[in-house]
Amino acid sequence: MGKVINTGFSYQYQMPLLYYAYTPGQSFQPVSYENQYALNVSGQWPIIGNSIFALGRGTYDFTRNMLLNVIGGLEYNGGCYSVSAVYQQYMFNYNQVQTNYMLNFNFKGIGNVGSGDQTNNMQSNIPGYSSILDIMQTQNQY
């Protein structure tokens, strides 16, 4: 638990290019199309014992020679509390980038303080991701 590495390669044929802020449901006539070749790497791994975990995901697009989406961070297991710091940058539309910084403190029996629990975000970005609280609970470190 807490050790996972994933890799994947995707090829999307004739994907429409979005040059403006597209809203789902809006009528859209693509100006051009492209084939997209992308490499996706993600993982979660303990770097210092079972107390500090590194986690992340990156998607590199070979068609544009650039990173499309990056998420990475550290989680610290303090026994009855945990701290998570996460950086996220993702591209939307064709050339617009959004960056987020997230810091979260979890206390056993009390809840969390900060930018919110990142478990759902990490589970959707890193297949096989285990929450630091789940890892702590299985190791009976409370």
Q: Which helix (H) or strand (E) holds 106?
A: strand 96-107
Q: Report helix, strand and coil shares of the chain as percent, to nearest 5.
A: 10, 55, 35
Gap between the Cα atoms of 120 and 111, Å rounded: 16
pLDDT band at 94 (very low <50, low <70, confident <90, very high): low
The tokens for 67 are 């990173």
Q: Report which residue type is found at 71.
A: I
Q: Is the pLDDT of residue 108 over 70?
A: yes
Residue-wise pLDDT for 28-71, tens only, equals 666 666 777 889 999 999 998 888 999 999 999 888 788 888 99
Q: Give the tokens for residue 93.
A: 């539309």
- The whole-number average pLDDT for the span 86-95 is 80
Q: Is 22's pLDDT higher than 70?
A: no
Query: In whole numbers, what is the pLDDT of the chain averaged over residues?
Result: 80
Top pLDDT among 38 and 117 is at 38
Question: Is the pLDDT assigned to residue 113 strictly greater than 70?
Answer: no
Tens digit of each residue's pLDDT (9 = 90 or more) over 2-18: 789 999 998 877 776 65
Q: What confidence score (pLDDT) does residue 142 get?
A: 46
